[in-house]
Amino acid sequence: MKIFIVDCDRTSRSELRNMIEAGNLGIVVGASPRWEEAYVRVQEVGPDVVLADLEFCTPKSMVYIEKVRAVMPETAVVALSQAGHPQTLRQAYEKGVELMIHKPLNEIEVRNVLYNLEMARAMKWLLGKAGRGAGEMEAQNGAPGSQGAASADPGPPTRRLRGILQELGVLNDCGSRDILGIVRYLIEEDIELRDVTIRELCARMG
C-alpha cells in the first residue's frame, strides 16, 4: 500500500514514516509540508492513502482534500487531528475524509487504521474479480433469459468469493472470515461498496 504524508511538522512526518516502515504497514512514497506541493506530487505518485494533517491552514486543507478526492477517487484520505475539534472533523468527513488518526500519534491506532484500509482495498479487488468472473460466465452461456443462461448457476456470490480466497491460498486466514462477513452484509443490505465509506460500514456493522 502506497502512502503519502501531508504535515507541516517535520517531527510528525518523520515519526509517522518510521511507524509505517518499521511496522511494514506500507510504503511511504512521499511527504510534504505544504498542500500546494503535495497536490501535485500526489497525482504524480498515485498513492493508495493520503495522511493529511488538519491542524495547519484548515480552510486550505479542506479545499485540497476535496480536490484530491475529485481527481483521485480511489485514493483514501485519512485525517491527522488533535482531539476536541468536532466541527473541523465533521467538515473533513464532508469533504471526503474516510478515517481519522488522533494526535499525538499512537502506533497501535496507526496500524489499525491502515490495516482497515488495506482490508477495504482487498474487498474491492475481490468484488471486482467476482463480478468479472460472473460476467465472463454469462457471456459464455448466453445473455440473461437465453437457454444457455438458464443452465448456468455460478452459485451465491459468497461461494464465488470462497473459491477466489481458496485460489489465493488465504481461505483459512482469520482475515478471510471478516471479508466474507462484510461481503455478505453488503449483499443482504443491497449496498454498493462505492456508495459507503469504511467509517459508515464499520458503524453499521458494529
Q: What is the pLDDT of residues 80-134, one digit of tens each?
A: 988 667 778 888 888 999 888 988 999 999 998 998 888 777 777 766 665 555 4
Across the range 185-197, mean pLDDT stands at: 78
What local confidence, expressed as pLDDT, does residue 120 receive?
76
Higher pLDDT among residues 205 and 134, named by residue = 205
CATH architecture of 2-105: 3-Layer(aba) Sandwich (3.40)
pLDDT digits (tens, 9 = 90+) for 52-79: 998 766 788 899 999 999 999 989 999 9
For 165, the enclosing helix (H) or strand (E) is: helix 157-168
Q: What is the DSSP letter of 169?
A: T
Map out the domains of the chain as residue ranges: 2-105, 115-205
In DSSP terms, which residues pair with 79 in a beta bridge?
52, 100
Give the span between the Cα atoms of 192 and 22, in whole angstroms.
Answer: 35
Q: Which amino acid, residue 1?
A: M
Query: CB within 8 A of 4, min separation 6: which ones?
Result: 28, 29, 30, 31, 32, 38, 41, 42, 45, 47, 49, 50, 51
Answering whether pTM is above 0.85, one says: no
More confident residue, 19 or 87: 19
